[in-house]
Structure formats: structure tokens, C-alpha cells
Structure 1
Amino acid sequence: MNGSIHLWPEQASAYGSEVDHLVFAFTVLIVILSAPVFILIVVFAVKYRRGKPANRRHARNRNVWVEVSWSIIPFLALIGFYVWASDLFARLYHPPVDALEINVVAKQWMWKFEHPQGQGEINELHVPVGEPVKLTMASQDVIHSLFIPALRIKQDVVPGRYTGTWFTADKPGTYRLTCAEFCGADHSTMGGSFIVLSRADYAKWLAQSGTDMSLAAAGAALFRERGCSGCHGPAATVHAPSLAGLYGSPVPLQSGQVVIADDEYIRDSILLPQKQIAAGYPPIMPTFQNVLNEEDVLKLVAYIKSLRTTEATQ
């Protein structure tokens, strides 16, 4: 990232290249469809202008195939572009299972990023080149939108729920990131740097950044500090669901529904415990809304995820 002005944003991912191909191809299609109209407007304006001798009688015979083709061909072309664009859009919501997970908390007016090992950064996001990265995002106040032009991705960050996206950066360098949703008086200052490092440099950056504990370990400490272990711990006397192996598992609810215990379900269980009550358990879970902030909740989610890993290795 430098002070030079680019006519077109740099690309830092294969996905960005595909988006550019879509934009260029669609632009060509629009030119092909619209240029004849504007050219004929000029031709007819000159040929049939007032006082110009010209045959103004309507043609007796019409070519039906020409009239059908200029409707059918653009329609089929647009359907093709719809499928192409839908495929690109859908891919953003299916990250690889082995993607590096980074948490994002947006607030007026900064971006806070937390790496699994516990490293945190503000308004800078360091990632390794060639490795899939999954972002789990939460807003602490209003709607924000994380926009990284070099990746051609933009995702709203909405208060009250998690949103996410993923990418694989394939070009080392420093690029711009910004908020693309008006979020208040200093919205224009809510930006930063997206930094793509080689894997060796990323490992070096992690080591130099330093941290007291991983997100999961910080979540475990918070779990004990807030008294959660008193109900959900293995020695608890309270009838509460076990959290070991919970993440990613189906959970039957009192309503008869079955949901998957993903990030959103765990967040709601902490902040809105009466929203989805697990079958067979009394609704005695207290709410931690206005007690825990989004960063704390993400740490607890990371801890509960780690219980799934621990359960799987036993």
C-alpha cells in the first residue's frame, strides 16, 4: 500500500481475479447490448430528421427470428451471469474446514482482530500467504462493514449476531482495509492495513507479538471466573448441559426443533439463554448480556470449541 493512485484496485487473491473477470465480462455484455441502441438513435435521428427526404412507411414484412433473438439471447446471457455471480457469492459462505480462524470485533471507530494463539491487533490484520483464513465477526455497537478491496470481499458486521467470510491471500504485501458502512461521525477514519506475509514471516510475527495465553485458554479462565463451571463443570450439582463435545453437535430443543451448536448458538446461549432452551433442562441459565462484551463471548466460544477437540482426541 502506497500513496500512488491506481485506476483499478490491486488483486491479492484468486477470488479477486475471478470477481474482476465477472465485472469485465458483464461490462462487455452491457456494451454489446446497449451500443446498437445508441448507434441507431444517432443514425435514425440523422436519416429521419425533419425535412429530410426518406421513406417513412412501415415495413410490410418483419423478420420474426430477429425479433425473438434480441430477446432470447440477452435473456440467456443474463441467466449465465446470474449463475456465475451466485457461485462466487455462495463460495464466501463455505470456508475450508482447516481454515485459520481469526475473530473480528468492530466498534466505533476501530477494528480489533484476535488470532487463535491470543495475539491481538487494532486496525491491522496480519495473515499468512496461501492459507485459507476464516473471519468470525461481531459488532459492539452499530452496523459496520469490513471491506478489503484487494480481496474483492465486503461483509457487514451486525450487532446481535455473528457474520463471517473467508479468503486465501496469494500475494504478499500491505493493502487497505476500511469500513464500507456509514457508522457515525468518524466513519471515514475507521480503516487500517491488511498485511499478507510469507508463512515464515507470519510465524515470526506471531512469536514477536507475544501473548499470555491463547483465546481458548483465556476463555477457560473467563469460564471459571464467571462461575460457569459451577453449573457446566463435570463436578457440578446443577442439572445443566455438558459442554464437552458440544460444538458442532445437534441439540434437541424444548420446542421440538433440533439445531446445530455453532458459534451463533453458543453466543445466544450466553447472552439470550431463554431463546433456545435445550430439551430436558430447566430454563435457569442467567443472561450475561451487558455483563460480557463481544470479545469475552468470542473467547468463551473459542474455549467451548476446544472442548470438542479435546473430546475428539480422547
Structure 2
Amino acid sequence: MIDSLILQQGSGWRAQAEVFDEIFFVFLALGTLVGTIVVAYTLWNVYKYRDDGSEPKEDFDAPEVGELPTGQGGPKAKKLFLSFGLSAIVVISLVVYAYGILLYVEEGPDASDEDDIEITVTGYQFGWEYEYPNGHTTRNEMIVPADHRVNLDVTSSDVWHSFGSSELRIKSDAIPGDTSEVWFSVSSEEVEAQGGEATFRVECFELCGAGHSAMKGQITVLPEDEWEEWYENTEGDDSASGNESASIGGPTVGGVPA
């Protein structure tokens, strides 16, 4: 948990998917623990103070309707303020933890400019175009290296879209005339786990027309050396992969360029 609050570099970067999975696990584990304790304590009190038909003990401090604990030392007041104090500690700790880790998601890992990869993402009916720093463009398949922070500048050439990948836990609006930013990274370990080439599905999360459901793409993550070799071969090449005949903003029928 502590490591997640530290912005790391290189292969130590944490992907957003890992961060969100950690947040979910922490809240699930803590919620389960607290819930189990509260329910168990409640059931214990139900059993302990059940009405068995006998006369209550003289020292039994029975609650009264409308009674407000004054905190002057009675057992009910002590239990109330103990539970309130423990609850405050748990809630404040979760807020501090979640705020710190979400700053990492918002700002991303520290990296020098030469380590960043800037890609412009342009949505159109009904596909995605990716433009790399050297001017090379691809359509519907983004190819990036592992262990690098990838910065995306997301926009649209026609209507509102929303670029995202559920597997990578990224999502950013694509608005005509405006640019939104999002980042992601994939570790080399994840690439190796998928057999040397990791793939993640891209979808549009904003209803954008008749071909919205078909507006899908792919992010392909390669080992750094393989990506560099691929990228060097794109110098001066403006060809686009995927729907090569598609023109951004051009007429389409059911998601297929007319």
C-alpha cells in the first residue's frame, strides 16, 4: 500500500489497472472485515441481552427511547464514542490513502520528456486514428512499447466520442475542437505474460451514431526493442493500418467507410 503512493520510474511504474484493482481490494477487504466485526458484535448483543423472561439485573443500563448519551462516563456513552472514534480513524485513513493513490492516477508517474511517448488520438465515425510524434498514422490499432508512459491527446473530427479501454482502466472524452489528456503504461511482465505481445481492446463509450457499437480498436504493446525497430521503419511513412481506405469524417454506412 505504501509503495503505491510513491511515483516510480522505469519498469517499476504501476499501470492504472493495477492501481484501481488495489483500491478495490483494499476497500473490499476492509469493508468485509469491519462488516464482519459489526455484524458479529450486533448478534452477540442480541443474544446477550435477549429477553429470557427473567428480571433484569440491577446494574443493567437499559436504553430509553429518545435518550441521548451525554458522554459523562456511562457504559452506553463509552461504547458510542469508542465506536465513533474507531469509525473516524478507519474513514479518514481510507480517504488519505485513496486521495494519495488517485493523485498517481491523475498525474501519472514521474518521467523525463524523452521517456514519454505522445500520441494524438482522433475519433471519427466510426473509428480511431493515432498520430505518432514522427507524423506516422495508424487507424484502429495503436502500437506502443512496454515500460513507457504513453500520453494520449484525445480529440474528435466530427461528433462526441469517448476513447477508452476497460482492461487498462482508461477513458477520455473525444470532443470536436477540444483536447483531453490521459496516460497509461504496460509493464514488460504483462507483455511476457501474453506471449511477447500484449493486446487490449479499445471502445467508444459515447453513443455517436449508427455505427457506434462497431467503433472498436486495439492497443498493441511490444517489447521496447521490437517497438523501436517498428517505429524506425515508419519514418516518412504516412500509410495507415486497419481501415486504410477510411477517411476521417468521411461518409460511412453501418460503421464501414462508404
- Give the TM interval when normalised to the shorter protein: 0.5 to 0.7
Q: Which residue of 1 aligns with 2:5?
A: none
Q: Which residue of 2 aligns with 1:159?
A: 176
Q: 1:110·1:122 contact (CA, 8 Å) conserved in 2?
A: yes
TM-score for the superposition, normalised by structure 1 = 0.54
Secondary structure (helix, strand or coil) at the match of 1:201 reads helix
Change (3 A) 1:47 1:192: farther
Within a 5 Å distance, the mapping from 1:59-208 to structure 2 comes to 61-62=75-76, 63-64=78-79, 65-92=81-108, 96-98=112-114, 99-171=116-188, 172=191, 173-208=198-233
- In structure 1, distance between residues paired with 2:43 and 2:83: 21
- In structure 2, distance between residues paired with 1:130 and 1:174: 15
Q: Offset of 1:93 from its aligned partner?
A: 9.3
Q: 1:93·1:166 contact (CA, 8 Å) conserved in 2?
A: no
Q: 2:122·2:130 contact (CA, 8 Å) conserved in 1?
A: yes
Change (3 A) 1:185 1:31: farther
| Count of residues in correspondence between the two structures | 203
**Amino acid in the other structure paired with 2:28:** T
Matching of residue 34 in structure 1 with residue 59 in structure 2: no
Q: 1:92·1:165 contact (CA, 8 Å) conserved in 2?
A: no
Q: Offset of 1:169 from its aligned partner?
A: 2.2
Secondary structure (helix, strand or coil) at the match of 1:14 reads coil
Secondary structure (helix, strand or coil) at the match of 2:120 reads strand
- In structure 2, distance between residues paired with 1:180 and 1:94: 29
TM-score for the superposition, normalised by structure 2 = 0.64
- CA deviations 1:227-256 (Å, max 9, x no partner) are xxxxxxxxxxxxxxxxxxxxxxxxxxxxxx
Q: Offset of 1:31 from its aligned partner?
A: 1.9
Change (3 A) 1:176 1:213: closer
Secondary structure (helix, strand or coil) at the match of 1:188 reads helix
Change (3 A) 1:177 1:57: same
**RMSD over equivalenced CA pairs, Å:** 3.4
- In structure 2, distance between residues paired with 1:80 and 1:211: 49
Q: 2:19·2:101 contact (CA, 8 Å) conserved in 1?
A: no
Q: Offset of 1:28 from its aligned partner?
A: 1.5
Deviates more, 1:103-112 or 1:24-33: 24-33
Q: 1:93·1:164 contact (CA, 8 Å) conserved in 2?
A: no
Provide the identity percentage. 27
Change (3 A) 1:14 1:85: closer
Secondary structure (helix, strand or coil) at the match of 2:221 reads strand
Q: 1:136·1:163 contact (CA, 8 Å) conserved in 2?
A: yes
- In structure 2, distance between residues paired with 1:164 and 1:93: 15
Q: 2:154·2:172 contact (CA, 8 Å) conserved in 1?
A: no
Q: Which residue of 2 aligns with 1:14?
A: 14
Q: Offset of 1:175 from its aligned partner?
A: 2.0
Secondary structure (helix, strand or coil) at the match of 2:100 reads helix
In structure 1, list runs of 5 or more residues that go unmatched: 1-12, 215-292, 295-314
Q: Offset of 1:201 from its aligned partner?
A: 1.8
Q: Offset of 1:48 from its aligned partner?
A: 7.5
Q: Which residue of 1 aligns with 2:244?
A: none
